[in-house]
């Protein structure tokens, strides 16, 4: 097949829709409507200040910088970046995440952060955003059905660099689904689209991004065994005693006790793509 004949946006759509349909939980944002889960996410993220500092050093925001965070979660990056920049706009559709981010900003004394509680694909740049941003980024928040349209919208409001962070290969959380799904649901798990699709799409759009990959530990920590069981039971759509037995066997063989907490060990590969917008 000729490379130029491949519609990479259609490849993304098919993989995205198949994975979402298989899990039966709606889009990515609905998972984080719970304020409790959002708060737990922020606490886990803040246990890794090295990653936050790494992103700050990559962006190098100045006191006059304007930044757009697409899919900001609980403000893990948006809040500390706002402490260094002139202004940050954070787009976050999940109610729990947006609420926790607002509280986190207030706690840190941040007043130059605007939170837009909408899906990126539903947002109107003319009414919801500023005219342009020096830095536009989406950090592992690209669960969007039409990735080309989403990227074009980012380009339209960018006056400097765009950074996209996504997964390469099979991340730890998805590998667990691959391992368990056939025994739980009688079918193979369908993985979502990865960074290779984004790269090829950008290339077909005439954009030749810088690319960097890194491997990182991707452990998931629970306070106790029951929390791990209940959390994964909900995540994997488990409802029968047989399914519970499958999950129990899996956890008995994979959970590790570390300092009184139960940990699911894993590793993932992250991909960074970034480029300067030519306007």
Q: Residue 272 belongs to a domain with what CATH number?
A: 3.40.50.150
> What is the arithmetic mean of pLDDT over 18-31?
70
pLDDT digits (tens, 9 = 90+) for 31-52: 677 888 889 889 888 888 888 9
Residue 128 lies in a domain: yes
Whole-number Å distance between alpha carbons of 273 and 137: 10
Whether residue 67 lies inside any domain: the answer is yes
Going by their DSSP bridges, the two strands 256-258 and 261-264 should be labelled as antiparallel
Q: pLDDT tens digit string along 187-217?
A: 999 999 999 999 999 999 999 999 999 999 8
How much is the pLDDT for 189?
94
Length of the chain: 279
Burial 173-182 (b: 16+ CB within 10 A, else e): ebbbbeebbe
Residue (of 39, 29, 37, 73) closest to 55 by Cα position = 73
Can you give the pLDDT at residue 161?
98
Give the total number of structural domains in the chain. 1
CB hemisphere CA count around 86 (13 angstroms): 9
Give per-residue pLDDT as tens, 211-220: 999 999 888 8
Work out whether strand 210-217 and strand 256-258 pair parallel, antiparallel, or are unpaired. Answer: unpaired
Please state whether beta strands 210-217 and 267-276 pair in parallel, antiparallel, or not at all (unpaired): antiparallel
State whether residue 193 is helix, strand or coil. coil
Question: Which of 98-102, 133-137, 138-142, 257-261 shows the lowest mean pLDDT across its residues?
Answer: 257-261
Which whole number is the average pLDDT over 59-63? 96
Considering the domain boundaries, does residue 157 fall inside one? Answer: yes
Q: Does the pLDDT value for residue 53 go beyond 80?
A: yes
pLDDT value at position 259? 85
* 252 located within any domain: no
Angle at the Cα of 71 from the Cα atoms of 65 and 76, rounded to 5 degrees = 70
Question: Are 178 and 170 in contact, with CB atoms under 8 Å apart?
Answer: yes
Domain that includes residue 272, residue range: 3-171+191-219+268-276
Tell me whether residue 87 is in a domain.
yes
Helices 225-235, 241-254: crossing angle, 10 deg rounding: 130
Residue 155 to residues 106, 128, 161, 197, 232, Cα–Cα distance (Å) = 30, 15, 9, 18, 37
Mean pLDDT in residue range 49-69: 95
Q: What is the mean pLDDT of residues 57-63?
A: 96
148 is a domain residue: yes
| Residue 231, in any domain of the structure | no
Give the pLDDT of residue 56: 95
What's the pLDDT score for residue 89? 98
Minimal CA–CA distance to 164: which of 196, 189, 192? 196
Instruction: Work out the angle between the directed axes of helices 147-157 and 8-23 (0-180°, nearest 10).
Output: 120
In sequence order, the 6+-apart residues with CB closer than 8 A to the CB of 186 are: none
pLDDT of residue 30: 61
Q: Is residue 160 part of a domain?
A: yes
């Amino acid at each position: 097949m000729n490379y130029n004949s491949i519609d990479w946006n259609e490849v993304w759509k098919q993989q995205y829709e198949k994975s979402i349909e298989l899990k039966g939980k709606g889009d990515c944002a609905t998972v984080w409507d719970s304020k409790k889960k959002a708060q737990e996410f922020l606490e886990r993220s803040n246990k890794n200040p090295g990653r936050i500092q790494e992103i700050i050093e990559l962006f190098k925001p100045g006191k006059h910088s304007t930044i757009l965070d697409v899919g900001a979660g609980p403000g893990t990056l948006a809040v500390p970046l706002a402490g260094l920049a002139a202004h940050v706009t954070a787009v976050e559709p999940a109610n729990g995440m947006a609420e926790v981010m607002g509280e986190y900003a207030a706690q840190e004394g941040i007043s130059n952060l605007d939170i837009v509680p909408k899906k990126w694909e539903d947002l109107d740049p003319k009414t919801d955003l500023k005219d342009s941003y020096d830095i536009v980024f989406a950090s592992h928040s690209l669960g969007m059905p039409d990735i080309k349209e989403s990227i074009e919208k980012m380009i339209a409001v960018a006056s400097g660099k765009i950074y996209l962070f996504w997964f390469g290969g099979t991340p730890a959380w998805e590998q667990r689904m691959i391992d368990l799904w056939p025994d739980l649901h009688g079918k193979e798990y369908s993985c979502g689209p990865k960074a290779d699709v984004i790269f090829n799409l950008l290339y077909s759009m005439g954009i030749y991004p810088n690319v960097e990959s890194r491997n990182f530990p991707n452990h998931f920590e629970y306070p106790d065994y029951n929390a791990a069981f209940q959390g994964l039971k909900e995540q994997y759509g488990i409802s029968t005693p047989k399914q519970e037995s499958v999950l129990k066997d899996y956890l008995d063989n994979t959970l590790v006790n570390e300092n009184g907490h139960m940990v699911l060990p894993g590793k993932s590969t992250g991909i960074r793509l970034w480029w300067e917008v030519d306007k």
